[in-house]
Amino acid sequence: MTVAMQTNLHPAWLPADAFRAIGSRRTVISATTSDSPLIDTVYAEVRAACYRFGGTVTRSSVDDDTDLMLRLTSEPGGLGDEGYSVGRADGITTVTADGPAGLLYGLFHLVRLGGSAFTGDPVTDDRATRTHRPAVRRRMLNHWDNVDVNPLMGQIERGYAGGSIFWRAGALTDDLDRLRTYARLLAATGINAITVNNVNVGRTEARLLTDRLDDVATIAAIFRAYGIALHLSVSFASPMVLGGPPTADPLDESVRAWWAATTARVYDAVPDFGGYVVKADSEGQPGPFAYGRSHADGANMLADALAPYGGVVHWRAFVYNHRQDWRDRSTDRARAAYDHFAPLDGQFHDNAILQVKYGPMDFQAREPVSPVIGAMPATRLAVELQVTQEYTGHQLHVCYLGPLWSEVLGFRFDGDGDGPFTGDAGSTVAGIAEHGGSLVAVSNVGDDPFWCGHPLAQANLYAFGRLAWEPAADPVVLLDEWISLTFPADTVDDPALVRGVLHAMMDGSWRTYERYTAPLGVGFMVRPADHYGPSVDGYEYTQWGTYHFADRDGVGVDRTRAAGTGFAGQYPKPWADVYESIADCPDELLLFFHHVPYGHVLRSGSTVIQHIYDTHFAGADEAATMREHWQRLADAGLDPALYARVADRLDEQVRSAREWRDQINTYFFRKSGVPDAHGRRIH
């Protein structure tokens, strides 16, 4: 095996220089397993680094000249399939793993450490051995890529980085080296599962199960070399679409037999196939409701087909009425997932994983954690995040999402403390995902030379993989890792300046984006369809259930038990009471749970209307400051193409932030008639 290094692509967080510390040393790989593609990958990675930087690598025993030992144990040592330990003694840095995947992850851990991996105590030069294991078994990226170009959504639904890296004009891409490069990037963050087609499965995509299996097997072989299992999004109606029974009833024996036979053929082609992802009874996708069956019935049918091979089905909980009457205030989209799924707790098979978006609406920059996550202790749950910036600036805006995800993962349903999963509602979201076995995110990758459209959006992809491995990690530390890897000190003129500027731009960029968009958790206010830019009333009179109910007196959605939709009551105590109370509800979620007058005084001491004005002026100013920070790097030795791409997108972010500021402030000034206390211009 050779390591894929494409010169026309930005190397992201694995530039050649990131391997300098390893490649300049003498390495021994000691592994009794000789037929593992992962061991071959480890050897190929080290060999490529040594070729570039003058070191050596052998598959023999350690000697006096060895600097680095990568060792696979002959007997399990409690590290698990993916865990590893790193230590240093007698001048040798040693990575030990029980399984080949662990050795690969240990190698990439050394890449993150750089030269510090080969130094220890100032006196002894030793480094205490530390063990590293992933918190979550399945760390998955969902690609919403279409095999055929969709007339509405293009090649990638909610994609902002060009076309698909997997598919081109209805066929498998011929650029397989790029797929190898991508697999390598993902493995370096800890990702170990992937889907390669959209959850909104079209007729062409449905055929990946049958006559397009060769394409699936080709992709699977590439990702297998980096420990990444391939999954497929499938249509619930696949039997009907693909020439099987004329029904998709999950309790019909002919349907169950069709899925069993089809799944057997998939595993014949891809023996380590991961399983299925299903979007059913959602936004027009077919599902079990058509047959009077439950979502547990549908998920369990597929779970039964996958069970003989160790596969799993991820069944998405994104189910709601997408033809709502905007006049009907009793129907609440936020309630829908809980109402549909919480009563089914305990009815899903063990290999049926309910995939729940982190919030009850749809990947907003601010919304509460979904109550479904804490309501189903007898069901395996996956928590779904979104790396692609559908509602956070389309990868035209700098918006580092690590802090948002860290807040979500650390949320406890008992409102107190943090800790590992204990089986009760008091567990963290991360602990519940650990128990369920999966943390999932929608990818932001396309065929753009910078992978993500915006070069700085790469940090979101990196942070997701690292948080999926270690949910308690500090997102600012992870950003610092990404900066160190992506902009190695030897490749820029002033590493401290680059690091300082990027932290100044990115550490608080999620909150900056929140400030200049929809206020106080109310959400949306975006242009319908493409979800970019402001349109305060764009969704207000539509069927999508995404309303703010602003009038001349106030704004917000009453979701209380006392007078509203009752959504607040879907949470356990203390959150049910916290969200019910205007006085106790966190300011940042006030308009999600309450309709309040413009003169309502927040905990901050500001009125709602003045808060709207202040945050939108501040957010637009902060966007302009980001651009000023970036301009300080004009002569810092960055890749000129990267510098220009970021500068161009910052120009758009500044323009868009001002547009958000002016439209939001003008809208609420005209609604309320309340002037800005500071006399700033509102149109």
Instruction: Give the active site residue among 65, 214, 283, 424.
Output: 283
Per-residue DSSP letter, 600: P
Q: Write b or e for each residue in 301-333: b if 16 or more Cβ atoms lie within 10 A of its Cβ, otherwise e.
A: bbbbbbbebebbbbbbbbbbeeebebeeeeebb
CA–CA dist 586, 156 (Å, integer): 36
Residue 228: helix, strand or coil by DSSP?
coil
Q: Which residues are CB-neighbours of 628 under 8 A, at least 6 positions away?
A: none
As given in the structure block, the two tokens for residue 241 are 């679409």
Alpha-carbon separation of residue 559 from 301, 329, 339, 565, 587 (angstroms): 35, 10, 14, 5, 15
Residue 498: helix, strand or coil by DSSP?
helix
CA–CA dist 188, 14 (Å, integer): 8
Q: Which residues are CB-neighbours of 637 under 8 A, at least 6 positions away?
A: 491, 492, 493, 494
Contact 451, 186 (CB under 8 A): no
Alpha-carbon separation of residue 124 from 22, 27, 95, 114, 131 (angstroms): 21, 21, 19, 20, 21
DSSP E strand boundaries for 342-473: 352-357, 381-386, 438-442
Contact 279, 199 (CB under 8 A): yes
Residue 582 one-letter amino acid: I
As given in the structure block, the two tokens for residue 542 are 């539509």
Contact 453, 161 (CB under 8 A): yes
Instruction: Give the active site residue among 390, 447, 558, 614.
Output: 390
Per-residue DSSP letter, 354: E
Is 540 considered catalytic here?
Answer: no
Is 390 considered catalytic here?
Answer: yes
Residue 676: helix, strand or coil by DSSP?
coil
Q: DSSP string covering 267-322, please?
A: HHH-TT--EEEE--SSTT---GGGGT--HHHHHHHHHHHHGGGT-EEEEE-----T
Is 283 considered catalytic here?
Answer: yes
- Output phi, psi for 340, to 5 deg: -75, -40
The helix (H) or strand (E) run that includes residue 96 is strand 92-97
CA–CA dist 137, 440 (Å, integer): 11
CA–CA dist 579, 590 (Å, integer): 8
CA–CA dist 498, 131 (Å, integer): 32
Q: At which residue do the structure tokens 């999620």 appear?
A: 510
CA–CA dist 390, 159 (Å, integer): 8
Contact 421, 435 (CB under 8 A): yes
Cis bond upstream, residue 574 (ω within 30): yes
Quick one: how far is CA 104 from the chain centroid?
A: 22
- Output phi, psi for 141, to 5 deg: -110, 130
Per-residue DSSP letter, 372: G
Alpha-carbon separation of residue 544 from 326, 539, 592 (angstroms): 8, 7, 16
Q: Determine the length of the chain.
A: 683
Instruction: Give the active site residue among 145, 362, 367, 614.
Output: 362
Enzyme catalytic residues = 283, 362, 390
